[in-house]
Structure 1
Amino acid sequence: MKKIILAAFLISALSSVHAQETAPRLYTLPSPFERYTHYLATVRYTGAIPLGSFSDSYIDKASFKNYSISLEWVLRNSPLSVGGELGSSYFQKRIPRAIYESGDETVSAVQTRTLTQYPLQFFVNYHFLPKSSSIQPYVQLSGGISFLDYTLYYGSLAQQKQKTAPTYGVGVGSKFMFKKDGSFGADVRVKYQGTSFKYDYVDKGVPTLNASVGFFTAGGN
């Protein structure tokens, strides 16, 4: 009887050890961001500084009326992500009253200079750290088109030019995950953007330096 009890005890102990060895260790599994292709939807607020001839000859004031939304796909087993971003930016500067000549007419007016852009860009990000990292620095290249509205006011009179032009950008940034295996985070980015546009005061394009803060939500399959 004692031998039977001892044998049963040994079999039970061996079975327990085997079960522990074969049971999945869930806490060692990679996060969903490592295991699956996923997407990020980001809403971004941007401050922009005019550069170059755009600043020298037309508007030299920073703008804080800039927003964008993007959708980004993070590729499986790759440090790359690709996506698209649709934005809106607005620059304005008011010049004190002065005398302006337009053809045979002379006008005394307060001049208000404005430029509105709606850029649609496709981008590629290269991430330097694994997808499981809670901090994910990256560099970005982007290109696309921008719809521009150049409107120059002389008092209530307006001179306007609308055009669609090529636009491009180069940026550096970092994503910050609120939880390592979560689905929400922040994205901070600094980006140089240039748009090919030539009209009136703007003769060498529209270069700007943009600093932005975004918040994203992630999903996957």
Structure 2
Amino acid sequence: MKKIIVLALLLAGVLPAFAQDAPKLYTLPSPFERYTHYLATARLMGAVPLGSFADSYIDKASFRNASISIEWVLRNSPISIGGEIGSTYFQKRIPRAFYEGEQGTISAVQTRTLSQYPVELFGNYHFLPKTSSIQPYAQLSGGISILDNVLYYGTLSSQHQKIAPKYGIGLGSKFLFKKDGSVGLDVRVKYDGTVYKHDYIEKGISSVNGSIGLFYRWW
């Protein structure tokens, strides 16, 4: 009986100490903090023309815009880099008027359209740790834009296509649905500029867009 009591006392003293020294797996850092990981985002955007582009050509807001991006989030760094491709479309209709053309004066409703298909590289600087449920960031981007500028006079049209330099700067934030989760929302406001000159457009294309995206991240 004494042996049983001594053994029980010994176990009572050893087990708590062993439990304190046992590894606590739930305290390990998030894998998104320990490893380089990747992030894919699909966005829908609304855009408003700015500057001379709005004054001289199209001043109507557009909601027919979307993009997809892939992002590489660096380990032990607030920086991430990635690429984004998208599509934007602006349109404005001018009331019927008289226009001088190659075949003389015509009366027509003028419709101005501009499509862009940007291909960009970007860098994001994140202000909070990767484990934060809210991750605000600043973005700088640059690349090219495939332009399709079509001007309609009734059923007649004049088209100009070009590949032009494009740049942008933005502010945004990611919102995780679950802490250390893989899915969340990305909200961004961005200024876009394209170096382009043709006909009515003399000082490039500029706009500001607001977007909301759904992202998925993995490692």
Shorter chain as denominator, the TM-score bin is over 0.9
Residue 200 (structure 1) aligns with:
199
Residue 146 (structure 1) aligns with:
145
Matches of 1:24 and 1:114, distance apart in 2 = 63
Residue 163 (structure 1) aligns with:
162
Residue type matched to 1:132 in 2?
T
- Confirm or deny that 1:51 pairs with 2:50: yes
Residue 85 (structure 2) aligns with:
86
Deviation at 1:181, TM superposition (A): 1.4
Residue 109 (structure 1) aligns with:
108
Matches of 1:132 and 1:151, distance apart in 2 = 47
Which structure 2 segments of 5+ residues have no match?
none
Residue 11 (structure 2) aligns with:
12
Deviation at 1:218, TM superposition (A): 0.8
Residue 190 (structure 1) aligns with:
189
- Confirm or deny that 1:96 pairs with 2:95: yes
Is the CA contact (8 Å cut-off) linking 1:122 and 1:143 kept in structure 2?
yes
Secondary structure in 2 aligned to 1:8? Answer: helix
Residue 62 (structure 1) aligns with:
61
Deviation at 1:74, TM superposition (A): 0.8
Provide the aligned length of Structure 1 versus Structure 2: 219
Matches of 1:60 and 1:112, distance apart in 2 = 13
Matches of 2:67 and 2:104, distance apart in 1 = 41
RMSD: 1.2
Deviation at 1:98, TM superposition (A): 0.5
Residue 73 (structure 2) aligns with:
74
Matches of 2:22 and 2:213, distance apart in 1 = 41
Secondary structure in 1 aligned to 2:60? Answer: coil
Matches of 1:55 and 1:172, distance apart in 2 = 23
Between the aligned residues of both structures, percent identity stands at 67
Matches of 1:152 and 1:80, distance apart in 2 = 42
Deviation at 1:68, TM superposition (A): 0.2
Is the CA contact (8 Å cut-off) linking 1:142 and 1:170 kept in structure 2?
yes
Secondary structure in 2 aligned to 1:14? Answer: helix
Secondary structure in 2 aligned to 1:130? Answer: coil
Scaled by the length of structure 1, the TM-score of the pair is: 0.96
Deviation at 1:104, TM superposition (A): 5.6
Residue 31 (structure 2) aligns with:
32
Matches of 2:216 and 2:18, distance apart in 1 = 38
Deviation at 1:196, TM superposition (A): 0.5
Secondary structure in 2 aligned to 1:204? Answer: coil
Scaled by the length of structure 2, the TM-score of the pair is: 0.96
- C-alpha distance after superposition, 1:8-61 (max 9, x if no partner): 223322331232122222332222221221111100000000001100000000
Is the CA contact (8 Å cut-off) linking 1:31 and 1:180 kept in structure 2?
no
Matches of 2:188 and 2:85, distance apart in 1 = 15
Matches of 2:14 and 2:105, distance apart in 1 = 99
Matches of 2:49 and 2:22, distance apart in 1 = 60
Secondary structure in 1 aligned to 2:138? Answer: strand
Secondary structure in 1 aligned to 2:18? Answer: helix
Matches of 2:172 and 2:180, distance apart in 1 = 20
Which structure 1 segments of 5+ residues have no match?
none
Matches of 2:15 and 2:177, distance apart in 1 = 38
Secondary structure in 2 aligned to 1:83? Answer: strand
Secondary structure in 1 aligned to 2:77? Answer: coil
